[in-house]
């Protein structure tokens, strides 16, 4: 399928894991993908992978917690194309374990998990308006936004904020032809997975991961490409009447 032929996409947090898979998927369907990541090296690597496969990608170093950095990304897209069709906010971090959180940890989690998503979506809004009814915003939240995480309440707090934000932004965007949706992945086989299960010193990450996966009805964690396929659907015309929804992508975890 070439559902994104001639369309422009920006993946903020596109340099690894789910963001990398999303960048590849959209490029494989014809999009010109701006791979934006805090790591310039990672952004370049993903863009090179895409171009080697015949796709179109532009690497951009972006600190998603810095509004000037985000503005520079959107200014570049405006200068290059004058329009943006697909905007995905992937940036996030696992919170510290427990409820003893320092002021510095608190602020960092707010900045990475909430501020980055809010300003990614709002600073790119005008470019999406120029897509003539083809604009799509997606955000990655977490199942911890839906069922709560006793291991990291601040993670549930920060990721949980994206669910009502997506609903509100969907109502704001509807008259401008911009759809807004949020996904809530469960366990995904990415480099960040070890951070979720390794919060406590000396934790056996392998055993903790195995124990958690036992609770997933489908009996396994997701591959990043399985997350990317859901984003590709939501961003495409196949989902032209889908907005303001939250989709768990969790192997049935939240159905229990």
Check residue 189 and report its DSSP letter.
-
Give the span between the Cα atoms of 84 and 173, in whole angstroms.
Answer: 14
Check residue 114 and report its DSSP letter.
I
Q: Is 155 a catalytic residue?
A: yes
128 φ/ψ angles, rounded to the nearest 5 degrees? -70, -30
Check residue 113 and report its DSSP letter.
I
- Check if the beta carbon of residue 93 is closer than 8 Å to that of residue 43: no
Minimal CA–CA distance to 38: which of 94, 95, 90, 110?
90
- Check if the beta carbon of residue 225 is closer than 8 Å to that of residue 162: no
Task: Say how many C-beta atoms besides its own lie within 10 A of residue 23's C-beta.
Answer: 34
Instruction: Choose, from 118, 119, 155, 241, the residue flagged as catalytic.
Output: 155
The residue whose two tokens read 């992937």 is 90
Instruction: Point out the residues that are catalytic.
Output: 155
């Amino acid at each position: 399928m070439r559902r994104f032929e001639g369309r422009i996409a920006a993946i903020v947090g596109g340099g690894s894991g789910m963001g990398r898979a999303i960048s590849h998927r959209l490029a494989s369907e014809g999009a010109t993908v701006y791979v934006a990541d805090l790591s310039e090296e990672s952004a370049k690597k993903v863009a090179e992978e895409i171009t080697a496969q015949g796709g179109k990608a532009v690497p951009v170093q972006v600190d998603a917690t810095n509004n000037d950095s985000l503005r520079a990304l959107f200014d570049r897209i405006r200068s290059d194309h004058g329009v943006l069709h697909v905007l995905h906010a992937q940036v996030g971090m696992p919170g510290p374990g427990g409820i003893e959180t320092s002021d510095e940890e608190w602020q960092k989690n707010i900045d990475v998990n909430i501020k980055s998503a809010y300003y990614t979506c709002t600073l790119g809004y005008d470019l999406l308006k120029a897509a003539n009814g083809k604009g799509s915003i997606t955000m990655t939240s977490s199942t911890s936004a839906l069922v709560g995480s006793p291991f990291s309440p601040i993670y549930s707090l920060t990721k949980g904020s994206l669910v009502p934000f997506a609903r509100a932004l969907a109502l704001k965007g509807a008259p401008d032809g911009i759809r807004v949706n949020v996904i809530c992945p469960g366990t995904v086989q990415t480099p960040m997975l070890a951070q979720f299960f390794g919060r406590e010193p000396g934790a056996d990450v392998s055993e903790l991961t195995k124990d958690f996966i036992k609770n997933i009805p489908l009996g396994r964690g997701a591959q990043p490409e399985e997350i990317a396929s859901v984003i590709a659907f939501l961003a495409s015309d196949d989902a032209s009447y889908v907005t303001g929804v939250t989709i768990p992508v969790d192997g049935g975890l939240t159905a229990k």
